[in-house]
Chain A
Amino acid sequence: MSVLGGAAAGDAATGVGVVKEEPLDADSKWENFPYWVVLLGLLVAWFGYLALFDDNYAVAWERVREGIWLTIQITLWAFALSLALGLVLGLGRITDLDQNTHWSIRALAVVYRNVSRTYIEFIRGVPILPLIFFLALVIIPDLSDAVGKPNSVDNKWRGILALAIIYGAYIAEVFRGGIQSVPKGQMEAGRSLGLSRLGTLRFVVLPQAMRAIIPPLGNDFIAILKDSSLLSVLAIGEITLRARQYSAGSFKFREGYVVLIFIYVTLVLALSFLLNQLEARMTRDRQGER
């Protein structure tokens, strides 16, 4: 029996009153139960029931679901491309060469660093929707003209590239932050053993940075999925555009948008579940409980 418990018993003996004995650090189960999971589950289930089984919604479902595969395609491509771009820009942001590197290569590094920084600051300084218009309708057509192939990029790819160009800037900062979260001593230890800067980055710093990078990268993955809806303004037939078209044509706004939101929330929850699993595995690895 604990000291406190003893005191309570003593009080009882002297007739002061009996306090129900409960450890001070007890988690009260009813307070910590994840009610939100149940509520969210009910909400999704209700939307799903309507979308899939209610006759009024069946037509909307048939129309909107034709865009699901395109939404997924856009998300995967835009994420993959923005990862590559983000790594290049993120490394550029922190390029720093040894003093004994030839001056011309160091000058290139200065250019690389500053171009990366300009790109990142510019993109992050403009809201996404205007950027999508600007990139997909101005920059990408200009570029395809410049290489002598006008109109060679179709609508879908203009949208994907615009998203990749935008998220590349955000993901660059994720990579930069992850790399900078690795203590400086790691680079010094690698270099002291005779590994090159690039070698140390590859074998020592980046593998450690990955742990800090995975969670925010997952956030951006989900953000791309959600922002793929913005591409509906480019007349790309993903689910948002199809829901708008269906609703506008039939005046069945409730049906069209309930179905649309059901699809997004299902996709996002599924994706974040997968990302959580991945993160949990990485954390286990960190604690050495493989």
Chain B
Amino acid sequence: MNLTPMVRLVGLVKRFGDVAAVDGVDLEIARGEVVVIVGPSGSGKSTVLRCMNLLERPTHGRVEIDGVDLTDRTTDIDSVRADVGMVFQQFNLFPHLTVGANITLAQRKVRGRSKEEALEMAERQLERVGIPEKIDAYPRQLSGGQQQRVAIARSLAMNPKVMLFDEPTSALDPEMIKEVLDVMLELAAGGMTMVVVSHEMGFARAAADRVVFIDEGRFVEIGGPAEIFDSPREARTRDFFDKILHH
């Protein structure tokens, strides 16, 4: 059994000008683990996630994916990114391409798969997210929930080692949140390593191995979902959940 953590953050700092969005955090995420990061807006939760595939370049510290240090300048970042799936709040599908072409583009250009292979993989992943019939549609013809599921399929088609989700349901109409969470729950159950920035408590309770509460760029508290949600040790954590759970 491979004991190298899938994701490892060591003393991670990210500054924007004078502001430390992430102010020295450490975390190890094991293979198959599902970690949910919660925190108030502006707490640095998305920045931590975006450091994990170097969409943000850390100011200090290290980010390792499966033992490879992303901050090392000799690392081929493109090949690491191909192994790290990323799902965005705004879906970021390619609007000029069909769903099928969205899912096959990187498979062909990065993984070097043939058109047939890539298309077969696209069909399989669309089946997995429940919309195989949309392969020839354009993104604008899909609902938000469907677009996000295509985005997930697009990432999965690259056979990622780990999936990052940056508030995947925040831009969705309420009635479409469940269909996306269902896909994510299934992924989690299938043993995918996942890091999820989200306030979906239901998802966290059902799927998370650990919940990280972040505030002002620091990890305030890390623990199982029940522990963090129901009996947080820190006052700041309690305050936050009081606010989002009671109106």
Contact = CB atoms under 8 A, between A and B. Distances in A.
Interface residues of A, number: 22
Given A98-B77, A100-B73, A288-B138, A193 B106 contact: yes
A192 interface: yes
A203 to B, nearest CB: 6
Q: Which of A98, A189, A203 has the most CB of B within 10 A?
A: A189
Contact of B81 (A194, A203, A207): A194
A185 B96 contact: no
B141 A288 contact: yes
Contact of A195 (B74, B83, B92, B106): B106
A189 B94 contact: yes
Contact of B78 (A183, A188, A194, A208): A194
Contacts of A2: none
Interface of A: 98-100, 102, 183, 185-186, 188-196, 199, 203-204, 207-208, 288
A188 B110 contact: no
A288 B83 CA distance: 33
Contacts of A203: 105, 109
Given A192-B84, A192-B86, A194-B82, A207 B138 contact: no
B4 interface: no
A278 to B, nearest CB: 16
A208 B92 CA distance: 13
Contacts of B77: 98, 100
Interface in B70-103: 72-75, 77-79, 81-86, 88, 90, 92-96
Contacts of A186: 92, 94
B126 interface: no
Contacts of B140: 288
Contacts of B55: 188, 191-192
Contacts of A98: 77
A195 B110 contact: yes
A189 B151 CA distance: 9
17 contacts: A99-B73, A100-B72, A100-B73, A183-B92, A189-B88, A189-B93, A192-B81, A193-B82, A194-B79, A194-B82, A194-B83, A195-B106, A195-B109, A195-B110, A199-B110, A208-B94, A288-B140
Contact of B75 (A100, A183, A188, A191): A100
Contact of A207 (B79, B96, B109, B154): B96
A100 to B, nearest CB: 4
Contact of B154 (A188, A193, A196, A288): A193
Nearest to A185: B92
